[in-house]
Amino acid sequence: MKQYQKLLLGFVLGVVLGLIGYYTLPQKTYPFMKTFTDFCTLTGAIFLRMIFMVVVPMLVSALILGVFELGKGRGLGKVASRSFAFTLLLSFMAVMIAITLTNVLQPGVGVTFDKEALAQNQGVISIQKNVTAAASKPWFQYFTDLIPQNPIDSAARAFGGEIIALMIFALMFGTALSFTVQDENNPLIKMLNTIFEASLKIIEWAMALAPYGIFAIVFNTTYRMGAGFLQNVAYFAGVVVLGLLIQQFVVYALCLKVFAKTSPWKFFQGCKEVYVYAFSTASSNATLPVALDVAERTLKIPAKVSRFVLTCGASANQNGTALFEGVVVLFLAQVYGLSLSLENQLVVVLMSVLAGVGTAGVPGGSLPLIAILCVQVGVPPEGMGLILGVDRFLDMCRTTLNVSGDLVISRLVAGDTMDEAISSKEIAS
């Protein structure tokens, strides 16, 4: 059985058995289910931590090496500006899809709810606390926080919001190296290559565990939530998923065809392992090592391009998140019967594009930004309580698009000069 089939099997079994368990073996009546879900938590955590532990070494080595290679050939400016242009274009397209679908399909019209209960929702209260803390910062602090005072400290707190600062350090360090080191055999370059290769090895081991890890994570999620979480907001969730599908199969497919002159279908086939992985973990950062591996080995994207684009994109290019933010804000405006002026809809577009750039690539990373966006356009942020039940599922879907977007941009930046390496033969192997 091929690796992606094993991943898919783990995923499908997790959903099916999780749902069966939810409806027939509730934990209150069947205490052994507690032991089983604990065992799943352990398996899922071991698998995730094997990946998480290489995120920092891989991100730093990949980005420094990518920038060093590009800087030496003086190709950095071109790759960076193309990546930036595609990021803006694709995020903008994603938000426009969100705005159009939500205005046309009106998922929030007629949704009834208990306003008082919503305001007491613990999830909403904690998001609002974060927003208040963020709002108390002066504006320039956002910029100074991007530059790390101590990169070791940023590395240690990479999953606590410091990953962008770490990336800035790696970008600057790689650029500096390209000016100071001429020789490929320089010991530091060799060492960074070795760190990268060894990290890939750990990913290989983690991938052997992946079908079980994914089963465990998905089983626990569905066993906890059942299918009932969709009831109230199924239509809203449907609109989000439809938007994500349009971005993936229309926008990305067209871009691959037009700008890279490559077959979108073959490209998507080559990425399927990454999709299953992003869906199961709901984290772009956790999927980064797998994406780097697939980009180099399966998609054959030149390492210097994929390392640069994917590592930056894991935090800075999140089309699925941008689309989701647009739908949520307009949905909540409809729920509260507010009509957003054209000016406010423009604010939603701009802020959603920016939020796609600034969201942490971790599960639920976009929630605080959605709350800020709601406040900005006069939509009550406590309305987010309505969607929290369905958020984990939608997070899995939008993260898949986020990571897919990074891979698409790497291919677009690599250009149509790249060998047509994604031949069916290579994908099959």
Q: Which residues bind ligand ASP (CB under 6 A)?
A: 282-284, 318, 321, 359, 361-366, 395, 398-399, 402
Q: How far is the CB of 355 from ligand ASP (least distance, A)?
A: 9
DSSP type of residue 226: T
Closer Cβ to ligand ASP, 43 or 285, answer by number: 285
The residue (of 362 and 414) whose beta carbon lies closer to ligand ASP is 362
Q: Would you say 262 or 284 has its CB closer to ligand ASP?
A: 284
CB of 227 to ligand ASP, least distance (A): 22
Judged by beta carbon, residue 328 or residue 418, the one nearer ligand ASP is 328
Q: Least distance to ligand ASP from the beta carbon of 291, Å?
A: 11
In angstroms, what is the minimal distance from the CB of 163 to ligand ASP?
Answer: 11
- Tell me how far, at minimum, the Cβ of 153 lies from ligand ASP, in Å: 23
Note the Cα 181 to chain centre separation in Å.
Answer: 34
Find the distance separating the first CA and the last CA of the chain, reported in whole Å: 11
Minimum distance of ligand ASP from residue 98's CB (angstroms): 13
CB of 126 to ligand ASP, least distance (A): 15
Report the C-alpha gap between 281 and 275 in whole angstroms. 10
Cα–Cα nearest to 157, from 41, 55, 44, 67: 55
Do 311 and 80 form a contact (C-beta atoms < 8 A)? no
Residue 241 half-sphere exposure toward CB, CA atoms < 13 A: 14
Nearer Cβ to ligand ASP, position 7 or 367? 367
- Cα separation, 7 vs 48, whole angstroms: 14
Task: Write down the least CB distance from residue 324 to ligand ASP, Å.
Answer: 6
Q: How far is the CB of 396 from ligand ASP (least distance, A)?
A: 8
DSSP, collapsed to helix, strand or coil, labels residue 79 as helix
CA distance readout (Å), 199 to 53, 64, 402: 9, 15, 23
Q: Which is nearer to ligand ASP, 284 or 344 (by Cβ)? A: 284
- DSSP string for 4-58: HHHHHHHHHHHHHHHHHHHHH--TTT-THHHHHHHHHHHHHHHHHHHHHHHHHHH
Query: If 0-12 CB within 10 Å is exposed, 13-18 middle and 19+ buried, where does residue 157 land?
Result: middle
Rounded distance, CA 415 to CA 306, Å? 12
Q: Which residues fall within 8 angstroms of residue 4, CB to CB, at 6 or more apart?
A: 272, 273, 276
- Taking the least distance from each CB to ligand ASP, the nearer of 192 and 369 is 369
Hey, how many other C-beta atoms are within 10 angstroms of the C-beta on 113? 14
Nearer to ligand ASP, 43 or 366 (CB): 366
Least Å distance between CB 321 and ligand ASP?
Answer: 4
Q: Which residue has the tokens 């242009």?
A: 85
Spatial distance between the Cα atoms of 245 and 251, rounded to a whole number of angstroms: 9
Q: 363 or 383: whose CB is closer to ligand ASP?
A: 363
Q: Which is nearer to ligand ASP, 273 or 391 (CB)?
A: 391
Cα separation, 367 vs 385, whole angstroms: 11
Closest CA to 98 of 325, 418, 290: 325
